[in-house]
Amino acid sequence: MAKVEPGFLATAIGSMPHASPEPACQAVLKLLPDIPAWPQVPKRSWLEEMHVQFAEGLPGVVEQGERIYIDTNSNVDQPLRQLQEDYEAMAVDGYALSRERAAGFYALLASRLGNPRAVKGHITGPISCGLSITDQERKPILYHDIFSDALAKHLRLKAAWQEEKLASLGHPTIIFVDEPYMSVYGSAHFALSREQTISLLETVLGGIQGVKGVHCCGNTDWSVLLSTSAQIISFDAYNYAHTLPLYPDDVKAFLDRGGAIAWGIVPNDEASLAGESLSSLRDRLEEAMAPFTRKGIPLQQLLSQGLVTPSCGLAPLSPDASLRALELLTQLSQEVRKRL
Query: What element of type H or E holds 319?
Result: helix 319-339
- For residue 13, tell me if it sits in a domain: yes
d(CA 236, CA 215): 9
- For residue 75, tell me if it sits in a domain: yes
- For residue 4, tell me if it sits in a domain: no
Residue 4 has pLDDT above 70, yes or no: no
Per-residue model confidence (pLDDT) at position 1: 59
- For residue 2, tell me if it sits in a domain: no
In the chain, the percentage of residues whose pLDDT exceeds 70 is 99
d(CA 251, CA 248): 5
User: Quick one: 231 exposed, middle or buried, by C-beta within 10 A (0-12, 13-18, 19+)?
Assistant: buried
For the ranges 1-15, 29-43, 197-211, 259-273, which has the lowest average pLDDT?
1-15
What average pLDDT score do residues 319-325 get? 98
In the chain, the percentage of residues whose pLDDT exceeds 90 is 97
Per-residue model confidence (pLDDT) at position 70: 97
**CATH code of the domain in which 65 resides:** 3.20.20.210
| Residue 306 confidence class, pLDDT cut points 50, 70, 90 | very high
From the list 293, 292, 307, the residue with the least C-alpha distance to 337 is: 307
- Summarised one tens digit per residue, pLDDT across range 225-243 is 999 999 999 999 999 999 9
Instruction: State which amino acid sits at residue 162.
Output: Q
| Angle at CA of residue 9, ends 284 and 339, nearest 5° | 65
Q: Into how many domains does the chain fold?
A: 1
| Residue 295 confidence class, pLDDT cut points 50, 70, 90 | very high
Per-residue model confidence (pLDDT) at position 153: 98
- For residue 194, tell me if it sits in a domain: yes
d(CA 177, CA 199): 14
- For residue 3, tell me if it sits in a domain: no
Which range marks the domain in which residue 166 is found?
9-339
- Long-range (24+ apart) CB contacts under 8 A made by 22-28 are 22/107, 23/319, 24/104, 24/107, 25/104, 25/107, 25/108, 25/111, 27/319, 27/322, 27/323, 27/326, 28/108, 28/326
Residue 305 has pLDDT above 80, yes or no: yes
Per-residue model confidence (pLDDT) at position 174: 98
What average pLDDT score do residues 108-112 get? 96
- Summarised one tens digit per residue, pLDDT across range 25-48 is 999 999 999 999 999 999 999 999
Residue 253 has pLDDT above 70, yes or no: yes
What average pLDDT score do residues 100-106 get? 98
- Summarised one tens digit per residue, pLDDT across range 188-199 is 889 999 999 999
| Residue 3 confidence class, pLDDT cut points 50, 70, 90 | confident
- Beta-bridge partner residues of 307: 9, 262
Identify which has the larger pLDDT, 312 or 1: 312
